[in-house]
Amino acid sequence: MKTEVILTSNIVGLGAESDQVKVAPGYARNFLYPQRLAIPLTQANRRHIEALKRKRGEREAHEFNTMTELAKGVQKLICVLKVKTGEDGKMFGSVTAGMIADELKHQFDISLDKKKIHMEHPIKAIGEYEIELHLHADVKSTLKVQVQSLTGVTAPVAASTERLEETKKPKTEKRGHGKRETEKAEAAPEEKEKKSHAVKGEKPAKAKHEAKHEKKAKAE
């Protein structure tokens, strides 16, 4: 058998101020009444209904204004979540609404019930996402969520730097080797000329000029 009560506070899943609901007697006796969340439905307590309705209207107006301001603010934010990934970039696990709610609290000091964060499926890949927020019955917004990798980002950069240093070294040695080859190539014609004169029994051009000059001096 259920007991009828009048709610004096908003209780998610049950009702709001001034609502008349039926609950289990033990629930009313052990929880609702001690916490002053409800009062028994009696003729005397019916007089409080109008006052409870005014209280409800004030609370709902305050929540609407607060959520409207929050909706404008969160649209400008980027909530960053860093996750572990494998070398191929695949995530270990997934990002849930609860994780996003925790990061909102940690990064921006915004307390938001994870039930207000609407996701069809958990996020399972790194990237940027737009998540829908149902902040109030009449207020919706979106939040940008950026999922970044904790691993596999700096390692490739270091490896590429190392490879770059390795590729520079052979090029330097090659340039030195090429210089020696050029010097040899420049010296080759002179050596070739000397060898050619030696084979034919001829004197180099300079020696011929000196011999001719000496012969002319003797004749004079």
CATH superfamily of 3-66: Ribosomal protein L9, N-terminal domain (3.40.5.10)
122 has pLDDT over 80? yes
The pair of three-digit structure tokens given for residue 19, joined into one six-digit string = 């609502």
158 has pLDDT over 80? no
114 has pLDDT over 90? yes
Domain boundaries, the chain: 3-66, 75-152, 160-206
- Average pLDDT score, the chain: 79
CATH class of 75-152: alpha beta
More confident: 23 or 172: 23
More confident: 154 or 17: 17
∠ Cα 205 211 214 (to 5°): 145
Predicted TM-score (pTM) of this structure: 0.58
User: Percent of the chain having pLDDT more than 70?
Assistant: 69
Scanning the chain, the segments in alpha helix (DSSP H) are 25-27, 49-74, 97-108, 154-200, 205-219
C-alpha closest to that of 131 among 89, 84, 81: 81
> Cα–Cα distance between 77 and 3 in angstroms, integer?
47
